[in-house]
Amino acid sequence: MWRVLARRVSRGAAGPPGLVRPRRALGAGVGAGAGPARRGPVWGGPAPRPLLPPPAWPRLVPRRCCSLPAHQKVALPALSPTMQMGTIARWEKKEGDKINEGDLIAEVETDKATVGFESLEECYLAKILVPEGTRDVPIGAVICITVEKPEYIDAFKNYTLDSAAAAAPAASVPPPPAAAPSPPPQPSPQAPGSSYPPHMQITLPALSPTMTMGTVQRWEKKVGEKLSEGDLLAEIETDKATIGFEVQEEGYLAKILVPEGTRDVPLGTPLCIIVEKEADIPAFADYQAAAVTDMKAPAPPPPPPPPQVMATPAAAPPPAQPAAAPAPAAPSAGPPRKGGRVVVSPLAKKLAAEKGIDLTQVKGTGPDGRITKKDVESFVPSKAPPVAAAPEAVPVVAAAPEGTFTDIPISNIRRVIAQRLMQSKQTIPHYYLSIDVNMGKVLVLRKELNQEVSENIKLSVNDFIIKASALACLKVPEANSSWMDTVIRQNHVVDVSVAVSTPAGLITPIVFNAHIKGLAAISKDVASLAARAREGKLQPHEFQGGTFTISNLGMYGIKNFSAIINPPQACILAVGSSKEILVPADNEKGFDVASVMSVTLSCDHRVVDGAVGAQWLAEFKNFLEKPVTMLL
């Protein structure tokens, strides 16, 4: 394209007038006397100005990228620390309106509140790209176009983001200039696949939906060993559990790229190399993948340096800090400047003047570091740097004696448990309902059934609790629901998650379709899931999901407790121990001894109202106090 354009211009400059675009010669002044370049063709008329030879024409810019005047794309900023998306609630300005500094452009609904989006400079609103009511607009999305002069507005009448994106590649990819040919690129000395025999690079897969990194706990195969389909290759610790990574094809393990114990390995990182022929293994002795060249197993942390404790005045004082490394000055924490001025809202500026606050010392939290009213109200003047105290004034800090504590590394499972529990308590409005259940008839029925079933099955009280919970969820489906942010999903099947304590942390394997399973089937499922959970051999689908959760601490003698909801579920049942108490009875003694169990239901008030939670507990109690009804 550039050569054709250059030939046309050259013909127009040398012979009869043609279709050319006037342009100043290279080297002409751009100051006074150099008028703006005209747009559009010139047919006939005076001869054009001198033009450069064809080699200089690659500096031309395609016309479509020059068809729009100077403008600014306004992106949606982060109006709160946790904001990821926003909703354009209302535009306060219309296309063509003049916008002064500090004017409200639009109202944006964030994850916290509806916040006014102010302008930082004078301009004109040329085009609104995101209409009112648009939901879930990501941060950084272009929402409007502003220009400096009103005569530029008409140029953006038909402007869209699609047209801008289509013009961007043509404007940003100039043709190669006429220059000396560059030497051919040298091949990478470790380019996989170029000089190696046929092989397969095994990468770390996503072993759970929320997994972003993993830890290689142990390699089950060594370099040179033969691999068969289904063999266990390695054990990977995910954010949920430690899962075995199986081989999908036959071959030989030629190279291990990530050693055992390597933590926080990103998804997609090459783990090892597998070849088809045993004779190809030596070729990969020095193989290294680019993604793991710098990845090593973490070395044990060095012992902490001995604390500098001043035991006596005669002890040597700590070395003085060099004078050239003082603490950062206060202006470094001040707000950013735009064009040599502090970016501040009019109200914040007025409030700072009334309080006599130096705005250069205030750190702004608004868009682009803008100082808001809240920043001024919460500003605390920085104190003067303390004068260096004499050695005897340094406070004596007694370090903990060595060997009095142990730092335990946080596993991926423990880290995820901490994040999810904190998220649950901070975002879910919990409330708690407790009730006592007479377990006398359940205990009698359990004893009779254990005498009838085979020796391999032993029914527990927890099996009856799981069955009663599932049937109560069918009776009160609101408790078997999930909060999905935009909708409440009411589940038609009951998958009961049972909390199991493992050495690595808490995990909740699932008894699927508990509402249609018998007590024997539930007992088998729970026993198998609990055993594999403690061994770290659960598959992801066996502990991800669930519609209702049960946490039982009765075997530890806990009378009652309140459990934390497992999102997106709406309820979790905390089961305490049973104890014998005296209850009124219609007999000669006037009382009887009953085994009473206390349970507490934690509910998400966004999904389950108080009365609904009470109805669920009533149904649950009825099923356990009259266990025959579970057969209906």
Mean pLDDT of 254-261: 91
Strand partners, 396: none
Which positions ≥6 away from 311 have C-beta within 8 Å? none
Q: Given a cut of 70, is residue 376 above it in pLDDT? A: yes
Q: Given a cut of 60, is residue 7 above it in pLDDT? A: no
Per residue in 238-256, pLDDT (tens digit) is: 876 778 888 888 899 999 9
Q: What stretches of 207-284 adopt beta strand conformation (E)?
A: 213-219, 226-227, 232-237, 242-246, 251-256, 265-266, 270-275
Strand partners, 602: 432, 572
Q: For residue 306, what pLDDT is reported?
A: 47
- The Cα 527–Cα 457 span in angstroms is 10
* Alpha helix segments (H runs only) across 293-428: 346-355, 373-377, 412-427
Q: Which residues are catalytic?
A: 605, 609
CB atoms within 10 A of CB 161: 13
Mean pLDDT of 222-228: 91
Residue type, position 219, single letter = W
Is the Cα torsion angle 294, 298, 299, 304 positive or negative in sign?
A: positive
Which positions ≥6 away from 544 have C-beta within 8 Å? 208, 209, 240
Per residue in 59-79, pLDDT (tens digit) is: 333 334 447 888 888 888 887
* Bridging pattern class, strands 242-246 and 265-266: unpaired
pLDDT tier at 612 (50, 70, 90 boundaries)? very high
pLDDT tier at 441 (50, 70, 90 boundaries)? very high
- The Cα 172–Cα 1 span in angstroms is 15
For the whole model, what pTM was predicted?
Answer: 0.47
531: left (phi over 0), alpha (psi -120 to 50) or beta: alpha
pLDDT tier at 324 (50, 70, 90 boundaries)? very low
Per residue in 541-552, pLDDT (tens digit) is: 888 889 999 999
3-state secondary structure of 99: strand
Per residue in 269-317, pLDDT (tens digit) is: 899 999 998 999 998 988 877 645 445 445 455 555 544 444 333 334 4
- The Cα 394–Cα 516 span in angstroms is 71
Strand partners, 551: 574
Reply yes or no: is the peptide bond before residue 509 cis, omega within 30 of 0: no
- Helix, strand, coil share (%) of the chain residues, nearest 5: 25, 25, 50
Strand partners, 115: 108
For tokens 């539930």, what's the residue? 522
What is the average pLDDT score of the chain? 76
More reliable by pLDDT, 301 or 611:
611
Q: For residue 392, what pLDDT is reported?
A: 52
pLDDT tier at 166 (50, 70, 90 boundaries)? low
More reliable by pLDDT, 237 or 559:
559
Per residue in 518-564, pLDDT (tens digit) is: 999 999 999 999 998 888 788 888 888 899 999 999 999 999 999 99
Instruction: Report the half-sphere exposure of 521 (CA within 13 A, side-chain side).
Output: 9
- The Cα 492–Cα 514 span in angstroms is 12
- The Cα 228–Cα 7 span in angstroms is 66
